Amino acid sequence: DDFHYGNFPEGFKWSVSTSAYQIEGGWNADGKGESIWDTFSHTPGKIANNETGDVACDSYHKVKEDVNLVKMLGVQQYRFSISWSRIFPDGTTSYVNQAGVDYYNSLIDSLLKIGVEPVVTLYHWDLPQALEDIGGLLNETVVDRFNEYADFCFKTFGNRIKFWITFNEPYVITWLGYGIGVFAPGINSSPGEAPYQAAHNIIKAHAKAYRTYEKFYKGKQGRIGMTMSTEWAEPKDPNNPSDVEAADRFLQSILGWFAHPIFKNGDYPEVVKKQVNERRTQSRLPVFTDAEKVEIAGTADFFAINGYTSRLLVFNLVHPTPDWLQIVPWGMRRLLNWLDREYGHPTIYITENGVGTSDATVDDQIRVNFYKAYINEALKAQQLDGVDLRGYTAWSLMDNFEWNSGYGPRFGLFEVDFNDAMRPRTPKRSSIYYNQLIRNNGFPLLQRDERITGDFPLNFIWATATSSYQVQHYVNIRIMFNLYNDGTNGDVACDSYHKFDVDIELLSSMGVSHYRFSLSWPRILPSGNRTTINHAGIAYYHALIDGLLAAGIEPMVTLYHWDLPNALQEEFGGWVSPDIQDLFVEYVDICFKEFGPKVKRWITFNEPWGNGVKAYKAAHNMILSHATAWRIYDTQFRWKQLGKVSIALSSDWYEPADTASTSDLEAAIRATDFRLGWFAHPIYLTGDYPEKMKTQVAKKRTPSRLPVFTDAEKVEIAGTADFFAINGYTSRLVTYQDKSTWPPMFNLVHRQEPIPGAIQATPDWLQIVPWGMRRLLNWLDREYGHPTVYITENGVGTSDATVDDQIRVNFYKAYINEALKAQQLDGVDLQGYTAWSLMDNFEWNSGYGPRFGLF
Ligand SMILES: *[C@@H]1O[C@H](CO)[C@@H](O)[C@H](O)[C@H]1NC(C)=O
Ligand SMILES: *[C@@H]1O[C@H](CO)[C@@H](O)[C@H](O)[C@H]1NC(C)=O
Ligand SMILES: *[C@@H]1O[C@H](CO)[C@@H](O)[C@H](O)[C@H]1NC(C)=O
């Protein structure tokens, strides 16, 4: 799933596609004959909501509009289909409907005028009903009828067409139309025979048209092939030969059924013959004569493939799927590689690929992500695997009639309002993305994302981190919340209380210079005050620290990582009460005395940021507690212990949605103030909250909910950190918004969204945005006067427990490289990096679901 940067070769064809019945409408306009889809959709009960293609997108009357959409995308090709019965109303050459010919001439000429090459499909499922009446694709005479129709099209339009497709997805035609009957013409009476007969005639019709083209037109015109389709079949267990065989058989019987005769020897694959004939003594698979085989073999100038999804194959069992389209980008790469090997390195065009949504929104981020991921896999096939891929076609230009599903699924790059008689088209987000992709001809590596090489300074701190509640074993200690999700709690967690020696071995094996862990206040002072001191708890931390030092690893100790003694919560509400300050200072004083001779780096609080109505009060007390703790260290301990004390603040990077917009910039700064500035501004700058935050909170309510520091407190608070400790994981896109939003207490006038295109990780709030780390570090550097910075947490979660965590490898590689850029190129005084987390642990209210561990 790694993302691959790079460009497609010059001359790569970007295309977009539609088909006649799905968009044209004008079902009986100007002399058009009926097709099997007219008949089928007019039969009640065949299509969702009894919808029809009678009007569809009304493209028959909207050449200019459609060509404009094509132009907006910037594609080099437009793939559309000709409606056979619009040209020959009864399917035969006995009568030509000139209005139909005019329509396609006008479409072709308009495309050429804007420099777009038409790609024409002759048969996209809409057989003239008159031919169906005499047996349709089951009657061998259809071979000649198709050839005559194709010949007419070559003669009439061919001087302007360089790229022809005879049939679109014969597998779908034969199986859905003649096997299970959910598509026109709806035949399901002999699924063991009809599909094979229809396929047989399609292959012969294709070959005959190909030979006609080859003989009379090819030299002066273009190229011709057939569009085939398949899902990628992934063996469930790649080490199980019968699963592998099942997957191969699946591909052969869906794709090879047509591709094998055309690209190989003029005949069906042996495995298909065997499989079909095994089921009955009388073979149901029709047989090609030797002359036919010669005529069929080699009748394609390129391999045209439609691919949407993948499925898992187990011996004798195709996994049933409720909806046919699961998003499996890597299946595209594997499919292209399979084609390449199986059919002798053909020139390949992807003639359809896309995704449907059930709603009509133009904000189709899912489609943006789909195209990004699938096209990236196509790029890998082309660049890394040497597949001769020459073009890519998005399905579809616009929302349209999705066969038996009616107008429900929306596949368009443009939205169509089917409730409006004018059928207005509106660009979706994906159309803009696709256009940008085409202009870039792929995914050029932004300078922003380029990797650099270099070393961090000597003595750089390499650390990993945990916190007490997340890893230790709580014996005899009552914790306020001990029920989470499905009843999991941190009672045992990783049992690090009993296994710290094992933890130290893990740390040694990684070669870290520091280990950041937290002390559990209630393990040291069970009731939160000095009345009872738990000597076992103190002994445990001494043993841990001594073990670390013996292994050459320095401890970096957090005093408060969220596990307040429950007694204090019950007694006076914990952090919302000023009473907490003295108790915290007492606790800290004990820790400095006990462990200070061995600990050189202290963190008072981890991520004091919070949410909810009481957060301002709690934060106020934490800032004051922190300041007092720092002052005590500074006056009483520093001279003999020579350590450093700080507070670990967390922040996302807040990227303005529009960097040229002053209001977006201001909104991003405000978001940062409410997250980081809330604590960093008092501690690193003035002793007081950021001005804009004060104004903002005051606006919401009088008196303001934001407590006020006295002048003496401000003096006490300012300058109480010996380094800047930052926890950073992700980034958000911020847009100015002129109204109150959630959370109401903040009255934030901005909106936050995920960074477009960023990889979503676990948990939900974590999108992978490496460059955000560099920007965050630069922000700190400028805003807070070039402090010494330690990254005290950074990492990514996964939802499964695998040790094969390539995603985490990629994450660390990318984020640490951005940290290196900040240090080397931008001059940020970065002196340490901490990976979160040493091992999988108790992830707070998410229980043991998200896995953040290096172990
Ligand atoms: C489709 O038409 C048939 C016959 O008129 C009717 O019974 C059925 O309820 C219709 N379905 C819908 C969804 O309107
Ligand atoms: C096949 O088509 C021909 C005319 O092209 C017709 O004479 C014949 O009856 C058809 N066969 C069937 C089985 O409908
Ligand atoms: C310490 O906490 C315990 C239990 O909450 C309480 O009974 C005791 O009075 C407290 N001692 C002091 C000195 O506050």
Is the shortest distance between the CB of 511 and ligand 1 below 6 Å?
Answer: no
Is the shortest distance between the CB of 262 and ligand 3 below 6 Å?
Answer: no
Contact between 247 and 234 (Cβ < 8 Å): yes
CA of 816 to the centre of ligand 3 (A): 46
CATH number for the segment(s) 6-440: 3.20.20.80
pLDDT at 478: 37
HSE-CB of 378 using CA atoms within 13 angstroms:
31
Q: What is the CA radius of gyration of the chain?
A: 34
CA of 258 to the centre of ligand 2 (A): 25
Question: Which ligand sits nearest to residue 52's alpha carbon?
Answer: 1
Instruction: Give the CA distances from residue 68 to residues 18, 392, 416, in Å, rounded to whole numbers and listed in that order.
Output: 15, 20, 14
Nearest to 257 by CA among 341, 300, 339, 196: 196
Low-confidence ranges of the chain (pLDDT < 70): 280-283, 315-323, 473-489, 738-749
Question: Which ligand sits nearest to residue 565's alpha carbon?
Answer: 3
Tell the burial category of 121 from Cβ atoms under 10 Å away from its Cβ (0-12, 13-18, 19+).
buried
> Which residue type occupies 548?
L
Nearest to 634 by CA among 549, 694, 721, 565: 721
pLDDT at 321: 43
Which atom of ligand 3 is the closest one to the Cα of 568? 5
Q: Please, where in the chain does CATH 3.20.20.80 lie? A: 6-440, 461-846
pLDDT at 147: 98
DSSP state of 318: E
Which residues, 6 or more positions from 774, have their beta carbon under 8 angstroms from its beta carbon? 818, 819, 821, 822, 826
Nearest to 384 by CA among 330, 346, 333: 333
Is the shortest distance between the CB of 567 and ligand 3 below 6 Å?
Answer: yes
Which atom of ligand 3 is the closest one to the Cα of 570? 5
Is the shortest distance between the CB of 527 and ligand 3 below 6 Å?
Answer: yes
For residue 384, how far is the Cα from the chain centroid?
21
Is the shortest distance between the CB of 139 and ligand 2 below 6 Å?
Answer: yes
Which mutation among 521, 525, 529 tests ligand 3's pocket best, with the greatest number of atoms within 8 A of CB?
529
Nearest to 400 by CA among 1, 752, 733, 80: 80
Contact between 123 and 168 (Cβ < 8 Å): yes
% helix / strand / coil in the chain, to the nearest 5? 45, 15, 40
Residues noted as catalytic: 352, 793
Going through 401-553 in order, the beta strands assigned E by DSSP cover: 414-416, 425-427, 442-443, 461-465, 514-518
CA of 144 to the centre of ligand 2 (A): 12
pLDDT at 486: 43
Give SS3 for 508: helix
Which atom of ligand 3 is the closest one to the Cα of 571? 5
State both tokens at 615: 């957060």
Nearest CA to ligand 1 atom 8: 45
Question: Which ligand sits nearest to residue 50's alpha carbon?
Answer: 1
State both tokens at 569: 């919560």
Is the shortest distance between the CB of 50 and ligand 1 below 6 Å?
Answer: yes
CA of 21 to the centre of ligand 2 (A): 26
Which atom of ligand 2 is the closest one to the Cα of 140? 1
CATH number for the segment(s) 461-846: 3.20.20.80
C-alpha–C-alpha distance, residues 171 and 131, integer Å: 20
C-alpha–C-alpha distance, residues 229 and 351, integer Å: 9
Which mutation among 133, 138, 139 tests ligand 2's pocket best, with the greatest number of atoms within 8 A of CB?
139
Which atom of ligand 1 is the closest one to the Cα of 50? 1
Quote the pTM value. Answer: 0.69
pLDDT at 745: 44
Question: Which ligand sits nearest to residue 567's alpha carbon?
Answer: 3
Is the shortest distance between the CB of 569 and ligand 3 below 6 Å?
Answer: no
